Structure 1
């Protein structure tokens, strides 16, 4: 996360935000923004994300949580980075378990299955370590993240995806809520199917070794940014297996051992 002002000029940050804003408004994916902010300038990329987030809040949207991305070592290596990223979850991004996502609601949708955590306490003060984060978690729940990219053909660098709110689109939470006293995220096994065919498998260990580790990382970054995690917020901790594209008419179901199933369908 940025600790200093980005080296990239404010005009370039504004231009990148405008490009992504236009893509979201028109439903037409845009060219990558790395020509404006660079492919790996962390400060500049988050500056764009912060500007777009502020605009959405000013327009009436409410922040309900965060999503963590790039928790897989393989994906980090692919994009040439050594850390996860995060984006903002807004109130209009949630779909109920079993819901139908309207066509065009999310640009270039792709799905991944993960563990979500809902907080019962703020993570704003004191040491933000494993024990503190576990104490702050109310429950874990199976989740499907619907990633979406405002960048054409998902042609993204690290800078592109961070600027584009970490490619956040929507999310679905299951209905089986389990406390961490009864559930070990590391041992959890995930299977995701599209139209009944298994397309992705994985485990909790694939998410930074432990999905709770991802939340610890996020809690520290969010506090450093000045927007700490709060009670009631939803935290999507990162994919447990490969992300897969979906097309109109697809039905997606994910199962996480210990947390049950969660599903969503995409309208034709």
Structure 2
């Protein structure tokens, strides 16, 4: 076994990405990444994501943010947000049936989603919210279905969870909002989620301010998080900003409808 003190960063990244890829292929979970290869920095952890996407052979079409709400942070036992990639074959359309096969969490997360009309290149000085919003061409809403490759997500820690694509799995992308909206109003936008299925009917509620205080703040955080390690965003990328409610347990046979304060509705059903 290669010693942790002699393994290069490139070797660590390859070991982690390969381990995670094999875990997915085997539909299994692991307690932790190989001890000699655990990322030492956020940059290494994000590099594992990049290499994992290469191994998957799927382009990155969007980005997700985990743990932007206190509920999300409690759920995975971290003290701040984490970024992750959304790969093209993991995106579903509004109304789709989404498989829960291989999903170790079986949770749904209603989210605010921004689509970029222009790119945001890496730079030394942080982007301001106004600069970021100038690049946004559309607002959507979505439903994230996270999962993890770890046996105990609360024990993994931030660096391993970033390497694990910030618990990224599947995502339902709704249509663009067609009514007038303003960035300053999004913190006050409320969300109601209705689930119907084998366990009966249940309702969850959320609001934009649960997302780092404001979905625009979450978007700006991700842009600067990636910029700091040399990753830019390109036109057409979407960024889903994290759950605005408590994560919602779902199971095969359930249907989920999320309504965002008159701005949009996103639905899906869940199958094995």
TM range (shorter): 0.7 to 0.9
Kindly state the Cα deviation for residue 24 of structure 1 after the two structures are TM-superposed: 1.0
Q: Is 1:242 equivalent to 2:246 in the alignment?
A: yes
Name the TM-score, length of structure 2 as normaliser.
Answer: 0.82
Q: Determine which of 120, 123, 127 is the counterpart of 1:123.
A: 120
Q: Is 2:33 the counterpart of 1:33?
A: yes
Task: Please give the TM-score of this superposition, normalised by the length of structure 1.
Answer: 0.84
Moved more, 108-117 or 27-36: 27-36
Following superposition, the deviation at residue 199 of structure 1 comes to: 4.6
CA RMSD of aligned residues (A): 2.9
The correspondence of residues 1-268 of structure 1 with structure 2, limited to 5 A, is 10=9, 11-33=11-33, 35=35, 42-56=42-56, 59=57, 61-76=58-73, 81-104=78-101, 106-124=103-121, 128-152=127-151, 154-155=153-154, 156-178=156-178, 180-181=181-182, 184-195=185-196, 197-268=201-272
Task: Label 1:123 to 1:261 Cα distance change in 2 as closer, same or farther (>3 A).
Answer: same
Distance in 1 between residues matched to 2:188 and 2:31, nearest whole Å: 40
Deviations along 1:142-200, whole A, 9 cap, x unmatched? 21011121223545432332111011111112225245448821111112222173353
Moved more, 38-47 or 61-70: 38-47
Deviation at 1:46, TM superposition (A): 2.6
SS at structure 2 position matched to 1:241:
coil
- Indicate if the aligned counterparts of 1:112 and 1:239 stay in contact, CA closer than 8 A: yes
- Unaligned 5+ residue runs, structure 1? 1-5
Gaps of 5+ in 2: none
Q: Distance in 2 between matches of 1:78 and 1:145?
A: 15
Shift of 1:50: 2.9
Count of matched residue pairs: 260
Q: Are the aligned partners of 1:109 and 1:169 in contact in 2 as well (CA < 8 Å)? A: no
